Structures are given as C-alpha cells and as structure tokens.
Amino acid sequence: MTRYNAPFEIHVHGDVPLREDVAYAQIQDALKPLWQYAGARSLAAAAESAYEDEPGIRFDAQEHVLQMCWTVPGDEDFRQVIEEACMGLNEIASAGAPIEVSFYDTEFDEEEAPEDEEARDDFMMCFVGPTPAAIMQVQRDLLVQDVVHIMERHFDASELNDVVASIDRLFNQRFDALVNSMQLGRPPRGHGGSSGHGGGRKPRHLH
C-alpha cells in the first residue's frame, strides 16, 4: 500500500551485472520485496521512481545490467526488505556489485529545527554477487579505492603499496575463515549487506 506521511524518502542506487541467461521474470521475482514494499503488483508497476528525474529500476537487456536509481517512501523496515532483495539478486548476478541505500528524513526542517537537533538521515551499503568471493572482491575494491583516495592527500600513490597489501591480507583472512566455515557445514548468508552511518545530508544520485 502507499505510505502516506512516511518518515523517510529511501533512495536505492546501483548497477548489478546479470547472467546472460537471466529473463525478466527472474528479475521481477528477485526484486519482489521491493515492488511489494512500494505497494505495486508487479515490477513494471513500481519501476518508476518517486522523482521524475530519476530513471527508476531498469533492465538493460543488451548489456545484461540491472540499473537502479529509485526512490520510494518508507520507514526503517526497508532495511530488511533490501536485504531480502539482495539475497534474490545473488541468484542471478554475474559479478559482485555494491548497492547504496540512502534514508532522507522527510520530517526534518533545517530552518525550523532547534540548533541541537539533527536529521535522521542514514546510509547503508549492500553487496550482491554470485558467490561470497565475488562479494568480498567488490568490498575489497571499494575499500582500497576509499583508503587510497584519502591517503593520496598526504602520500604518493607509490608509497601506498604496503597499505593495499595489508587490506588484501585482511580480506584473505576473512575469505579463509569463510571457506573453513563452509567446510564445517555453516554456509554464509551470502547477501553481504552491511551498513554505516553517513555524516550530513547526501544528494540524491542521478544517472
């Protein structure tokens, strides 16, 4: 059902490469948690974003990529919904990919709010992929990119090899632990969802 007076505008942004054999019906099934949350009866009915300047949810059949730049009104319960959608996307993804989810506080008025009051804006990053290794690879790549970007303000790129090697070592340790847990009969959940709080109000992403 449509959510009136929802406390958040929730923006989902990411491009997920899909297997070449994936059909539209499989995409619709994987994203069922999202379009049901939007109160629609199908993916096509929910594919348009709440904002006309956003492309919404689209499938590029030529490139086999699911493109999401989509905003929907909602609440904190959307976190579970996006996790479920990520689990569905794992089944049809061809490679690892990040999905950004931003929560914008619709009830916060910067001009009228007391000085000590802050918006409840939040941000979480989810990861999808066909295997845990593919998910870890994209997590690793994003972390290296962020760390190098920050440290290049103070050091030359050639000086950061040891830093990158340390990050790789940490991910190798995590992957080894994951393999061992699978061998012991405890397969990972595999959706790779994680969250982190972002500072300040972030602009909506546009293609």
Of 31, 37, 91, which is closest to residue 67 (Cα–Cα)? 31
Whether 165 is covered by a domain: the verdict is yes
For 95, the domain range is 8-130+188-196
Q: Do 76 and 110 fall within a single domain?
A: yes
Q: Do 31 and 109 fall within a single domain?
A: yes
Beta bridge partners of 57: 68
Task: List Cα–Cα distances, 202 to 17, 31, 83, 102, in angstroms.
Answer: 25, 25, 22, 8
Q: Do 14 and 48 fall within a single domain?
A: yes
How many domains does the chain contain in total? 2
Task: List Cα–Cα distances, 39 to 2, 29, 62, in angstroms.
Answer: 6, 15, 29
Q: Do 150 and 118 fall within a single domain?
A: no
Mean pLDDT of 27-52: 97
Q: Do 23 and 108 fall within a single domain?
A: yes
Q: Over the stretch 100-158, which tens digit does the pLDDT of each residue have?
A: 999 998 876 565 555 666 668 899 999 999 998 899 899 988 888 889 899 988 998 88
Whether 202 is covered by a domain: the verdict is no
CB atoms within 10 A of CB 101: 23
Q: E strand or H helix at 13, and its extent?
A: strand 8-17
Beta bridge partners of 128: 97
Q: Do 112 and 148 fall within a single domain?
A: no
Residue 24: pLDDT band (50, 70, 90) is very high
Whether 78 is covered by a domain: the verdict is yes
| Strands 65-74 vs 97-105: parallel, antiparallel or unpaired | unpaired
Whether 100 is covered by a domain: the verdict is yes
Please check the confidence at residue 185 and state whether its pLDDT lies above 90.
no
- C-beta separation of 196 from 125 below 8 A: yes
User: Of 47-61, 63-77, 108-122, which gets the smallest average pLDDT?
Assistant: 108-122
Residue 195: pLDDT band (50, 70, 90) is very low
Q: Do 15 and 63 fall within a single domain?
A: yes
What's the pLDDT at 167?
A: 87
Q: Do 13 and 112 fall within a single domain?
A: yes
Q: Give burial (CB, 10 Å; 0-12/13-18/19+) of 65.
A: middle
- C-beta separation of 15 from 67 below 8 A: yes
Q: Do 119 and 153 fall within a single domain?
A: no
Q: Do 73 and 153 fall within a single domain?
A: no
User: Of 19-33, 89-103, 165-179, which gets the smallest average pLDDT?
Assistant: 165-179
Q: Give burial (CB, 10 Å; 0-12/13-18/19+) of 200.
A: exposed
Q: Over the stretch 159-170, which tens digit does the pLDDT of each residue have?
A: 889 998 988 888
Q: Give burial (CB, 10 Å; 0-12/13-18/19+) of 207.
A: exposed
